[in-house]
Structure 1
Amino acid sequence: MALLGCGFDPGVTGIFTAYALKHHFDEIHYLDIVDCNAGNHGQAFATNFNPEINIREITQKGRYYEDGVWREIDPLSVHRDINYPHIGDRPSYLLYHEELESLVKNIPTLKRARFWMTFSEAYINHLRVLEAVGMTRIDEVEYQGQKIVPLQFLKAVLPEPASLAENYSGQTSIGCYIKGVKDGQAKTYYIYNNCDHAVCFAEVGSQAISYTTGVPAALGGLMMVQGKWKQAGVFNVEEMDPDPFLAKLGEMGLPWHEVVNGPFPFDD
């Protein structure tokens, strides 16, 4: 058996959605995945994981699913303030994220699926300057007789993501806002996890971005070894039974919370 995308997003967000469908909805119509890093690492500009992947993810066109078609927008052109638990309002930008591809396939009642991520004004300003001077380009340029890719060079001079952990403070908050119907009645649902950078460093010497990626991957492997997730073929996480995974997730350091018919920021 092969299991695809078992970090946090993609990964736990798909399992959250599967759990919502199993226990709270007959049909899910609207899904908004929200990802906030409200941490402070003390650097002027740094990425929390592989800079090449992170910057390409942000500078590509945004993409989301609505009414049976994929819609594209200019990079970082759609944003709104979203309130995150124990953090507050943060500017959140609509991005393309790969888990949307499988979720709209595996949950065919979805009318719209989007992904939002927070960035500070300083981060956006740095990124726009780097883009303006060509440092986010992914094509080769010639420099002193050698061909280099500007983005790969930028990766080499930025701080190594693992080096940020020691002085990182603040929290991450990642979750799913879901709207649909249950027993013929409209229903909203929010399921999320908050994770503290300093707590992660004290436990395993990493920042919360790495922690929230590694723990679900280890747990997914455990589900397979124990036979709780075991089928022949290749599967996305939302195709698996979410219950045994979520029963262990909190024990492994990532407690999750749910709000039924509470404040809901996505009425558009």
Structure 2
Amino acid sequence: MSRVLVIGAGGVGSVAVHKMAMNADIFTHISLASRTKSKCDAIAASVKERTGVVVDTYEIDAEEVPALTRLIEKVQPALVVNLALPYQDLAIMDACLAAGVHYMDTANYEPKDEAKFEYHWQWAYQDRFKDAGLMALLGSGFDPGVTSVFTTYLKKHHFERIDTLDILDCNGGDHGQAFATNFNPEINIREVTAVARHWENGDWVETPPMSVKQSFDFEAVGPKNMYLMYHEEIESLKTHLPEIKRIRFWMTFGDEYIKHLTVLQNVGMTRIDPVKYQGVEIIPLQFLKAVLPEPASLGPTTKGKTNIGCIATGIGKDGKEKTLYIYNICDHEDAYAETGNQAVSYTTGVPAMIGAALIVKGLWRGHGVYNMEQFNPDPFMEMLNQHGLPWQVKELDGPLDF
């Protein structure tokens, strides 16, 4: 049905391209580009072996807008799927506007020199995409992405009004490493060490990073410590569903991860400002990324499951208060068997494929810049069940007691 150009050859890009190739009736031609062409070639070889589909590969610096524009014009895709680093979002949006092509990503923009990720930089493109007759879909991963769709699905089918929302992200996998991150180390550590923020009664409430901890018993994983963090879907959900009085985001971390991260912070290795070393300026966090295990390499050794979902409390369709928990459980080994990638990449790459499919099929359409919760959740939810991320809803006795 459509040609697509995927930018980014990490674990998420690998999963998305594999899943696109498994749906050749929707994605008739797939091109993959990144700064390192050999990574693209390795993914293309795996896709060819697993599915028989040929993926074209290209080398591109996504921050070079003229060069990227020329590549888009050469490939002539219906959609550019940005699975590169969040720093590159605005440049890729600029290239899509220049080439006249729809845009989609999984994570919002953040500047290189500040650990701050917010939507206002991308929302500022609203008029430019609208005037060009183009669509930009932001955040089609799991969180953000699926968690936003989970919320609108609950609102559409179960609630008259949602009052409180908690997003719970649990990775119960064990990769056997002393310290490693399950996605890009630089992005992961910037995210974890940022000031925590949640939305409550019309305002932001800030707390120091990793200072609020609760325990939760996750199905198929067990009890885990989870920490209050800021995540970008809080900003978009409070904007598009302003009825919600409180929105919080929680992510689990093991004691070993916290211990190592604390030491790295204390010795300055998580800094994002340049320091001089032997006459050369380096960014400590970027150097740390270079010596940590590549997340894509963790697939063969990672065991266990993820459990990610939303707990919503509000007034149900029957007029009574209720609390519902909607979630997905994904197995690391199953994900690796299917795509050669662990579940953290899988749970982001599959929603990226689904969001792209809904755009190119015309089921989600519009002119301007959109977040996931602005569209009908039903076709997305149906495709989650069909393509490896089945979900379930259960009623809880009451809201979280914390």
| TM-score (normalised: structure 2) | 0.66
Which of 287, 294, 305 is matched with 1:160 structurally?
294
Consecutive unaligned residues in structure 2, runs of 5 or more: 1-134
Query: What is the number of residues matched between the two proteins?
Result: 267
Partner residue, 1:186: 321
> In the TM superposition, what whole-angstrom CA distance separates every residue of 1:82-134 from its partner, at most 9, and x where no partner exists?
11111111000000001100000111111100000000001000000000000
Q: Contact conserved, 2:323 with 2:399, CA < 8 A, in 1?
A: no
- Residue type of the partner of 2:340? G
Q: Secondary structure at the match of 2:383?
A: helix
> In the TM superposition, what whole-angstrom CA distance separates every residue of 1:8-65 from its partner, at most 9, and x where no partner exists?
0000000000000000101111000000000010100000111011001111110000
Ranked by relative contact order (alpha carbons within 8 Å, sequence separation 6 or more), the top structure is: 1
Higher share in helix: 2
- Large movers: runs of 4+ above 2 Å: none
Partner residue, 1:22: 156
Q: Secondary structure at the match of 1:26?
A: strand
Q: Does 1:99 align with 2:233?
A: yes
Partner residue, 2:275: 141
Q: Contact conserved, 1:49 with 1:209, CA < 8 A, in 2?
A: yes
| Structure 1: distance between partners of 2:225 and 2:383 | 32
- Residue type of the partner of 1:76? M
| Structure 2: distance between partners of 1:114 and 1:142 | 39
Q: Secondary structure at the match of 2:159?
A: coil
1:225-240 map, 5 Å? 225-240=360-375
Partner residue, 2:307: 173
- Residue type of the partner of 1:88? G
Partner residue, 1:244: 379
Partner residue, 1:124: 258
What is the Cα deviation at residue 267 of structure 1? 2.9
Computing the radius of gyration over CA atoms, which structure comes out larger, 1 or 2? Answer: 2
RMSD: 0.9
- Residue type of the partner of 1:192? Y
Partner residue, 2:343: 208
| Structure 2: distance between partners of 1:214 and 1:121 | 28
Q: Contact conserved, 1:174 with 1:194, CA < 8 A, in 2?
A: yes
Partner residue, 2:40: none
What is the Cα deviation at residue 265 of structure 1? 5.8
Partner residue, 1:220: 355
| Structure 2: distance between partners of 1:134 and 1:265 | 40
Q: Contact conserved, 2:322 with 2:398, CA < 8 A, in 1?
A: no
Give identity over the alignment, percent: 58
Partner residue, 1:49: 183
- Residue type of the partner of 2:356? G
What is the Cα deviation at residue 264 of structure 1? 4.7
Q: Secondary structure at the match of 2:380?
A: helix
